[in-house]
With several copies, the nearest count.
Chain A
Amino acid sequence: MQLSNKKWDLDFFLAQRQEALSAWPTGAEVDLDEAIAYQAEIPGEKRFVTRLNEALAAGKTLIQPRAGVPLINEHIVLLGHLEQEGEADLLPTTIDSYTRLNRYEDAQRGIEESKVSGKAMLNGFPAVNHGVKGCRMVTSALKAPVQVRHGTPDARLLCEITLAGGFTSFEGGGISYNIPYAKAVPMQDTLLYWQYVDRLVGLYEERGISINREPFGPLTGTLVPPCISNAVAILEALLAAEQGVKNITVGYGQCGNLIQDVAAIRALEQQTKAYFARFGYTDVVVSTVLHQWMGGFPADEAKAFAVICWGSAVAALAQATKVIVKSPHEALGVPTMEANAAGLRATKQVIMMLADQAIADGERLQEEMAIIMAETDCILERALELGEGDWALGTVRGFEAGIIDIPFAPSRYNMGKIMPARDNNGAVRLLDTGLLPFTDKLKAFHQAKIAQRAQAEHRGVSFQMVIDDIYAISKGRLVGRPH
């Protein structure tokens, strides 16, 4: 099948649907008409789109955890705790890693072993195995809206089951849930899988059910320069909009430098809207999400709180529409519900203390935004060129050509030539710009920034700097200085 950035026609979609639904027995539970009728009964305050739009209008930042355990009742207890004791505004259901790779038998084994051992043996909620009914037990038991959060290259069945199961938001995209989450899945394939997901969401939209979609912003979570994650988010937003998605939250993982982070979120919002306007998607509502630090965390809980709180501060100062929250257990393992709720309460406190203090102006902020936007434009324009005007083809060819390149990614379809490192103020820059289609001026900018740091540290530019930066936050600082 030929990939192109064109809205799928309905017959084609329905033909694909047979295959998607038959991947696991629970697929048979999905009946689109019944699902739409079910979704229509979910009240506004339990819908993602409503809550996000309210927050957008009020300039508020909502808080959302990550959480998922293998068994239904335990999962309901967990999410209930997070909304009660954690004051979460929005809820997640994090999917386990076997389901993410469509290994439903392994997921089943995980469910059984969890039942037997009384311990969670999966790192998330296996929604496909629990089926539509299991999902509805979860979504109906809670006050807040619930989103599916995962990392699934082929999420067609997962999306079918969870939307029918009453979830009102679905995370992911053909790039962001491939390159950081898979080793050997061709980009062409995931873009098609995700056109399916977006077309399905579009169908719900056509039938009056608005579902939020959220490209996964942080990618590998490790020193990803803003221009890379913003370019990916905008590409996925454009692809989604073409299939009929009307409500999109573009995301970004905190890098750690305040000015760069605020600039990145601002640039992301502005450029997403600008590309939407330019390509005629004028009725899509855009919101933003900031992910608290996504790289390695300090093991000490007090220090982990510090990382969490600083991420919260950045989210509030940038006026992101929502913030995804980490827990003080991050470095060690999937958090207990108490630790997860503690991370949320700390976040809520910071968000509320900073609710009325956005950082909107400032010369350095403007400069940083200009840099990020110029870089992002370079990448996107070149992708469009390579795709001969087609964003989907441009994405595939862009990754092949290394003009989009995600650091530390496991996928063999990623060039892996760029190398990020922090500058002397902790902003993430490029020690090696690889094949990114930057102007000479932009390349020189990065070179100068890294050179400045090397000089300050009295050492040469080397991979050791990158390693030091990867460990830095877990060792208690932002820039990985020598000794």
Chain B
Amino acid sequence: MQKTLVLGVIGADVHAVGNQILNYAFTDAGFHVVNLGVMVSQEEFIEAAIESAADAIIVSSLYGHGELDCQGLRDKCDEAGLKGILLYVGGNIVVGKQPFEEVRQRFLDMGFDRVFGPGTPPEAGIAALREDLADR
């Protein structure tokens, strides 16, 4: 069965190029993509996921405020009845060049299932989605 993804760029972030490519690549890979574009609030992600009965929420953050913007998203999902929904985040998710393993850990601790660093190609996301959604 076709899996549904909610895709968007979180916060006050307007980086639109990667989002357009992810939309194209995920769709091309056979997913049903609900693309919210840029400047998406946590509430909008959750609303769209409920509405579309999504299997995963794919958050991009490029502009550096990812750490502030993503705080509490997992809790809000839980509260909204999206318990256990797959949560990915990727892009340039913190300010500056920081050791990626520490960054990954901080975002895992925030409740994300997978964390992808700068310049991750869409294929890596697709492979991970296939693996994580296989048995759902």
Residues of A near any B CB (own CB < 8 A):
96-98, 100-101, 103, 106, 109-110, 113, 119-123, 151, 180-184, 220, 222, 295-296, 299, 329, 331-336, 339, 408-410, 463, 467, 470, 474
Which among B51-59, B93-101, B107-115, B125-133 touches the partner chain?
B93-101
23 contacts across the A-B interface (CB closer than 8 A): A96-B65, A97-B12, A97-B65, A98-B65, A110-B68, A119-B95, A122-B64, A122-B95, A123-B95, A180-B14, A220-B17, A329-B96, A331-B118, A332-B92, A333-B94, A333-B96, A335-B96, A335-B97, A408-B16, A408-B17, A410-B38, A467-B21, A470-B17
Report yes or no: B119 in contact with A182, Cβ–Cβ below 8 A: no
**How far does the Cβ of A95 sit from chain B's closest Cβ, in whole Å?**
12
What is the CA–CA distance of A123 and B96 in the complex, to the nearest angstrom? 8
B105 interface hit (Cβ, 8 Å): no
Encoded as 1 (CB less than 8 Å from any A CB) or 0, chain B from 51 to 84 comes to 0000000000001110110000000000000000
A467: contacting residue among B24, B63, B95, B118, CB under 8 A: B24
What is the CA–CA distance of A180 and B95 in the complex, to the nearest angstrom? 21
* Chain B residue at minimum C-beta to C-beta distance from A407: B17
Number of interface residues of B (CB under 8 A): 25
Report yes or no: A121 in contact with B14, Cβ–Cβ below 8 A: no
**How far does the Cβ of A53 sit from chain B's closest Cβ, in whole Å?**
34
What is the CA–CA distance of A220 and B37 in the complex, to the nearest angstrom? 15
Report yes or no: A123 in contact with B16, Cβ–Cβ below 8 A: no
A463: contacting residue among B24, B39, B118, B119, CB under 8 A: B24
Report yes or no: A98 in contact with B12, Cβ–Cβ below 8 A: yes
Q: Which of A181, A332, A470 has the most CB of B within 10 A?
A: A332
Report yes or no: A410 in contact with B16, Cβ–Cβ below 8 A: yes
What is the CA–CA distance of A257 and B121 in the complex, to the nearest angstrom? 26
**How far does the Cβ of B2 sit from chain A's closest Cβ, in whole Å?**
22
A97: contacting residue among B21, B63, B96, B118, CB under 8 A: B63
A121: contacting residue among B16, B39, B67, CB under 8 A: B67
* Chain B residue at minimum C-beta to C-beta distance from A298: B119
* Chain A residue at minimum C-beta to C-beta distance from B9: A410
Q: Do A333 and B95 form a contact, CB below 8 Å, given A410-B37, A463-B24, A474-B119?
A: yes
What is the CA–CA distance of A428 and B11 in the complex, to the nearest angstrom? 31
Report yes or no: A100 in contact with B95, Cβ–Cβ below 8 A: no
Report yes or no: B24 in contact with A106, Cβ–Cβ below 8 A: no
Q: Do A110 and B118 form a contact, CB below 8 Å, given A181-B14, A410-B14, A470-B17?
A: no
Q: Do A470 and B95 form a contact, CB below 8 Å, given A97-B12, A333-B118?
A: no
* Chain A residue at minimum C-beta to C-beta distance from B118: A332
B16: contacting residue among A109, A122, A220, A332, CB under 8 A: A220
Report yes or no: A109 in contact with B38, Cβ–Cβ below 8 A: no
**How far does the Cβ of A98 sit from chain B's closest Cβ, in whole Å?**
6
Report yes or no: B68 in contact with A113, Cβ–Cβ below 8 A: yes
Chain A residues closer than 8 Å to B118, beta-carbon distance: 299, 331-333
Report yes or no: A110 in contact with B16, Cβ–Cβ below 8 A: no
Report yes or no: A120 in contact with B95, Cβ–Cβ below 8 A: yes
* Chain A residue at minimum C-beta to C-beta distance from B14: A410
Q: Do A329 and B97 form a contact, CB below 8 Å, given A98-B65, A220-B17?
A: yes
What is the CA–CA distance of A220 and B11 in the complex, to the nearest angstrom? 18
**How far does the Cβ of A297 sit from chain B's closest Cβ, in whole Å?**
9
**How far does the Cβ of B108 sit from chain A's closest Cβ, in whole Å?**
18
Chain B residues closer than 8 Å to A120, beta-carbon distance: 95-96
Chain A residues closer than 8 Å to B21, beta-carbon distance: 467, 470
Complex interface residues of chain B between 24 and 49 (CB less than 8 A to chain A): 24, 37-39
**How far does the Cβ of B9 sit from chain A's closest Cβ, in whole Å?**
8
Q: A182-B14, A470-B17 are in contact. List 18 more A-B contacts (CB 8 A).
A: A106-B68, A120-B95, A122-B65, A122-B95, A123-B64, A180-B14, A181-B14, A183-B37, A220-B17, A222-B17, A329-B96, A329-B97, A331-B119, A333-B98, A408-B20, A410-B39, A463-B24, A467-B24
**How far does the Cβ of A100 sit from chain B's closest Cβ, in whole Å?**
7
Report yes or no: B68 in contact with A121, Cβ–Cβ below 8 A: yes
What 4 pairs across the A-B complex have the smallest Cβ distances?
Answer: A123-B64, A410-B16, A333-B96, A332-B97
What is the CA–CA distance of A410 and B16 in the complex, to the nearest angstrom? 6
What is the CA–CA distance of A96 and B63 in the complex, to the nearest angstrom? 9
* Chain B residue at minimum C-beta to C-beta distance from A223: B17
What is the CA–CA distance of A91 and B33 in the complex, to the nearest angstrom? 43
